[in-house]
Structure 1
Amino acid sequence: MLEKYSDIFISHDYKYYKFTSIGTKGSITKVVRYYDLDLKDYYNLGFGDQDPITGDLDDLATSNNGDSEKVLATVAMTLFTFTSQYPKAKVYITGSTEVRTRLYRIAISRHLCSIEMDFKVEGLLDSEWELFKKDVPYEAFLVTKI
């Protein structure tokens, strides 16, 4: 079982989460936000550092706090909470950069067996969705609770 942060703020509508990453660079506030998309039951997962000045989610910040596995496991945990409240949700996930999308793909691949126990994961390749396969350079992911 992956280690996760347990002290998480969850908004009343279950679409906004906030927790603190604690690592080599100190304490950094992380934000996960589920944005409604134009299609019914489709949401975009936004994730990043909380901008210390504006309070907004900054998905381009690079904190390198030495706890990326724990942070990603915590973000994944929000999927369980979110989909328990929105069981028909289809969650669209992509990185703000190609490097981040690759990081997400590697994390999904590494934990695919346990993920597939609860979620269906699809990958976007050449404008087509397919069931997620390891080592395929997907552009985005679509996660649905089983």
Structure 2
Amino acid sequence: MNKIDIYETNLSIESTIVQYLFESNGEKKLIKAVQYSGFKTQTGLIMYNLGFGDYDFETKSISDNESSNNGDMRTVFNTVLNTVPKFFQDNPGFPIYVQGSDSSDLFEEECRISCFKNCDEACKNRNRRIRIYTYFVNKHFAALSKEYLFFGYDEQKETFVEYVPQNNYIAVLVYKKK
């Protein structure tokens, strides 16, 4: 079986925030964090938003708007994904909400100010992060579906629907099967 490269993570829990910190050893040494932040929906359901980015020790927060381009993207991505089963093991029953920081209308407005791509209609950078996650889910859907339930956010219906591989979603909701 192929060995998947991942970085060792250190768990940190504060109130409703669960963080897995690790050192990215690419072109430079950077501290990264995978953060699961608990929140309550309008219907009262508690879920956890998955965030990821560079870690700031002063503010104890992550910056998920930058791309560090550190040369170790695959190992970093595998490390992020490796935290999902760990999270579900320690937090059974709570779903994970995944949406890229580049999925909002505000992102597109700000991107157009400094972007060199000069996109005519749709911003090519928008939803780039969620597309990375959905690409992985699509590729491994049969195997992942044995352990997890997936729902995708349908923008036209403005609700989560059963996940269908190859459809475009701006957010994904993941539940661990019991």
TM-score (structure 1 length as normaliser): 0.87
Give, as a single letter, the amino acid of the residue that structure 1 aligns with 2:143: S
What's the secondary structure of 1:84's corresponding residue?
helix
Partner of residue 41 from structure 1, selected from 42, 46, 49 = 46
Give, as a single letter, the amino acid of the residue that structure 1 aligns with 2:137: I
Deviations 1:73-113 (A, max 9, x none): 21111111111111101110001111111122112222223
- CA distance in 1: counterparts of 2:141 and 2:36, whole angstroms: 22
Following TM superposition, the consecutive aligned residue runs of length 4 or more in structure 1 with deviations greater than 3 angstroms are 51-55
Choose 89-98 or 2-11, whichever is displaced more: 2-11
Partner of residue 123 from structure 1, selected from 148, 152, 159 = 152
Supply the RMSD in Å over aligned alpha carbons. Answer: 2.1
Bigger radius of gyration among the two: 2
- CA distance in 1: counterparts of 2:25 and 2:92, whole angstroms: 31
Query: What residue in structure 1 maps to residue 28 of structure 2?
Result: 26
What's the secondary structure of 1:101's corresponding residue?
helix
Give, as a single letter, the amino acid of the residue that structure 1 aligns with 2:174: V
**Residue correspondence of structure 1 range 79-118 to structure 2 within 5 A:** 79-97=84-102, 98-118=127-147
- CA distance in 2: counterparts of 1:87 and 1:48, whole angstroms: 24
Query: What residue in structure 1 maps to residue 172 of structure 2?
Result: 141
Which structure ranks higher in relative contact order (CA pairs < 8 Å, sequence separation ≥ 6)? Answer: 1
- CA distance in 1: counterparts of 2:3 and 2:164, whole angstroms: 22
Deviations 1:107-143 (A, max 9, x none): 2222223322221111111212122222211010000
Q: % of aligned pairs identical?
A: 29
What's the secondary structure of 1:15's corresponding residue?
strand
Deviations 1:27-62 (A, max 9, x none): 221101111111443111111111366442000110
CA contact (8 A) 1:88 1:144 kept: yes
CA contact (8 A) 1:124 1:139 kept: yes
Give, as a single letter, the amino acid of the residue that structure 2 aligns with 1:130: V
Query: What residue in structure 2 maps to residue 7 of structure 1?
Result: 8
CA contact (8 A) 1:20 1:27 kept: yes
- CA distance in 2: counterparts of 1:35 and 1:111, whole angstroms: 26
Q: How many residue pairs get matched?
A: 145
Give, as a single letter, the amino acid of the residue that structure 2 aligns with 1:36: G
Give, as a single letter, the amino acid of the residue that structure 2 aligns with 1:8: T
